[in-house]
Amino acid sequence: MLKNYLKIAFRNLIKNKIYSVINILGLSVGLACSILLFMHVRDEFSYDTFYQKSDQLYRMALERIYPDHRGFYAIIPDGFSKVVEQDLPQVEHATRLIGFPSFSNTVKYRDKTFQEHYVFYADSNFYDVFPSFQFLRGDKKRALNRPNTIVLTKSTAQKYFGDANPVGKSIKIDGQDKEVVGVMQDVPDHSHMKFDFLASTTGLGFLKNPSYISFSAYTYLRLKPKADPLTVEAEFPDLVKKYATGQIERNLGVSYKQYTEAGNGYN
């Protein structure tokens, strides 16, 4: 009986060729679009899910209020990383990532010189916040706790050193020597952050005087288990007022009240 049904279906297709072609093409295009859409959505929702305890990870962002408009930034003043961890008991760790991929850095090892866009600086507790990044060489726990040290990704180490162990060797970043202290797996494609070099922020001169008004650092928080992110966020206005007021008043020569009444502010 099934054979007869197939014969009848085939004869109808032959008999109504144009109608059949239109329906088959429509069905094919519809299925292809659905599959592509499903793959795209699945890819989008896969971002950052590989991080351990990803539900406790957050990035602080900034809304700068101007008298005539608002600006939104992924980078915030570098000083808030320390005070958030210090003042808010719900925050387990806070760490900074500093770098600007739109600018290039000159990286040199012996006769190899490249212009690199993904040179970042990270705090010594970066791998406490992001323990999912696996080390292939070196000690992850102590990797970034000394000045002028740097971690390379696997592909970057291969690019500069081939199959040799780069740990203990030096490379130059914009003319400054950096000791290679580790090699880690490449950052996965489905991560929102991307870097090829991760140097230590320890010893960076401008961080010795924390800023609460200049935009310079991507700042990440790992909240304690069951901490409410909205409760944490509700504390931010008081932190801004507590730490940024003095710098705003010194830099602009007006009181914080005058500054906000003129339509300025930070969220």
Residue 180: domain span: 54-223
Token representation of residue 158: 């291969």
Phi/psi at 202 (5° precision): -60, 125
Same domain, 71 and 111: yes
Asked, for residue 70, whether it belongs to a domain, the answer is yes
Looking at the fold, whether 17 and 145 belong to one and the same domain comes out as no
Q: 191, 207, 223: which is the final residue of a domain? A: 223
Is 124 part of any domain?
yes
Residue 75 covered by a domain: yes
Residues 7 and 117 in one domain: no
* Average pLDDT of the chain, as a whole number: 90
**Per-residue model confidence as pLDDT tens digits over 91-138:** 999 999 999 998 999 999 999 999 999 999 999 999 999 999 999 999
23 and 63 belong to one structural domain: no
Q: Are residues 34 and 106 in the same domain?
A: no
Residue 83: left (phi > 0), alpha (psi -120 to 50), or beta?
Answer: alpha
The answer to whether residue 80 is domain-embedded is yes
Are 171 and 145 found together in one domain?
Answer: yes
Binned at pLDDT 50, 70 and 90, residue 5 comes out as: low
Are residues 135 and 216 both part of a single domain? yes
Which tokens sit at 17? 């060729």
Is the confidence at residue 263, as pLDDT, over 80?
Answer: yes
Statement to judge: residues 71 and 119 lie in one domain: yes
* 149/17 same-domain check: no
Residues 35 and 115 in one domain: no
Q: Is residue 253 part of a domain?
A: no
% residues pLDDT > 70 (the chain): 93
Ranking 1-15, 50-64, 168-182 by mean pLDDT, the lowest is 1-15
CA distance 42 to 23: 28
The confidence score (pLDDT) of residue 86 equals: 95
- Asked whether residue 261 is assigned to any structural domain, the reply reads no
Same domain, 32 and 155: no
pLDDT band for position 10 (50/70/90)? low
Q: Would residue 262 count as lying in a domain?
A: no
Whether residue 14 lies inside any domain: the answer is: yes
- What is the phi-psi region of residue 167: left when phi exceeds 0, alpha when psi lies from -120 to 50, beta otherwise? beta
Residues 41 and 82 in one domain: no
Count of domains for the chain:
2
Quickly list H helices, the chain.
2-15, 17-45, 80-87, 126-129, 154-161, 229-234, 236-252, 256-261
Kindly report the pTM of this predicted structure: 0.84
Greatest CA span in the chain, whole angstroms? 92
